[in-house]
Structure 1
Amino acid sequence: MAGVLDSVNQRTQLVGQNRLELLLFNLGGSQLYGINVFKVKEVLQCPALSEIPKRHPVIRGLAHIRGGTIPIMDMKLATGHPPLTDIENCFVIIAEYNRSTQGFLVKGVERIVNMNWADIHPPPKGAGKDNYLTAVSEVDGKLIEIIDVEKILAEVSPMAEDVSAEIIEAAQEDIQVQKHILIVDDSSIARKQIQKVVESLGVKTTLRKDGKEALDYLLELIESGKDPYNELLLVVSDIEMPEMDGYTFTAEIRANPQLKDMHIVLHTSLSGVFNEAMVKKVGANDFLAKFHPDELAKRVNSRIAELIGDE
């Protein structure tokens, strides 16, 4: 399994072309699941795990890997199924989400497939709101389920979601800005987290679950005779989304004369210098790694102050 990610560094060039590569894995059955290779740091046979007192049931233990200590989460248990057994013969996917590193225990790792975000779709409406899927696709006639890792992390290790009082107080009270903020994210948990931050500052929100939906919304505003720039304070968009990723969404906005001045913040669990370079390449105004309520609130306050200063 060591060689499965040998070329991971070269794979990052796919980002920005509405493409990605999925690492396919299974949880002991025939169903296949996928995780974006760009989030994956390493895949290895499950190491010996140390017990954690009063641990969350989903965390099977701690692994000591390359000088660090990483919590190992049972992906099968996390998605509402019985726990994996015979874990010494299972695999761990080491991945980086939301500024931290976690290990996801899976039964087996299959292969890497090259995909277009346009071929990755939101979960079927009949899946229900409590499902753990953020998207689905098809490979060689088989359904691939992409798990909402942010939902799992929010349940296992909840992050602070409240904005500091001093930052709320710093919000411009005279905003009276009838403008609202467009939030674009395929994770229902992430949308709610961002919405809570923005609305705590007294700013209204509009939610869309992928870049295509968001772009359609902006084009509908134009068709109705409205100027999106006058309607929206800014756009907060995830990068990894089915149908159309955040980079492509941003590029489409910049290519449209009636949208090109929109203020865009890419807000994502992806992190690193590479993403900052991509932000500049596609023309976004800012990049913010998930999820830090105060930092997001400061971005909103800064944009409000900027607009008031322009008046």
Structure 2
Amino acid sequence: MNHKPYKDLKTHLRLKYGEYVHRVPLDAGFSCPHKVNGIGGCIYCDPSGSGFSVDSSLSLREQLFQRISLLRKKGIGKFMAYFQANSNTYAPTERLRTVYREALIEDVVILDISTRPDLVSEEVLDLLEEFSEEVDVILELGLQSINPNTLKAINRGHTLAQFVDSSLRARKRGIEVVTHVIANLPWDTEEDVCEAARLISVLGIEGVKIHSLYIVEGTELARMYKKGKVDVGTAEQFVERVILFLEHLNENVIIHRLVSDPPIEGTLFGNWGMSKIKLLNMIERKMIIEGRYQGIKALAI
């Protein structure tokens, strides 16, 4: 039974697979067209494209074996191969097929592909549908905000319409979709955050990752922050926005994340100097004390 005021991923996976499934982040060496086409990429994107780094000398299979061997010693027996860094559908289909196939080692029960909404072609969906016959497949799409002005401010390089289109086409194929949103973007209002939850619910998207905005040295956002052009708000404001989002989100949407993990090195600002667990506890405590929970204000769908 889930005693949290929201539908958390850990409980969901235990119920579905009978045991804990550990996410293993991978860097397959993909890039991002938004970075290399002269536009410059999203203003917050760090050089790794994900906020984590791995030994670039390791092959994908070596990355998996290195992490999984350690996790098996802790008694963990099932794994999610998570293609995290940059845009993991940005390559010819045959290369994607080869790379994804390399990740399907013993005890990997989920193939999790993170990418941009404007990089979800029918060929990519054909491929993911092909793999879904062997393993559970998740397609993660970065939305970040539903406000078109905010998308321009953070230089996302895609539209809200592209996100809606790719989500609908993926779900039509039976592919599980997980959406990323940043709760404390300075250009968004609380209503924008609530509307994002409503949209995700209406689209029937299965999961969501909520992020706290962090600022990494060397990014355009860092330069703006140093000049006093960016106000990330307070931790209390972030907590309230997350709770509002959850209240307006359909109760069946799985919460994969509530708070970001800033990079260990090079972070100029991250989580108001708090640990991730402290922020999580603040969110859950406030929800419980105030009698607030996921879906309490959601639209009837």
Normalised by the size of structure 1, how large is the TM-score?
0.28
From the two aligned structures, give the one with the greater strand fraction. 1
From the two aligned structures, give the one with the greater helix fraction. 2
Q: 1 or 2 for the larger relative contact order (CA 8 Å, sep ≥6)?
A: 2
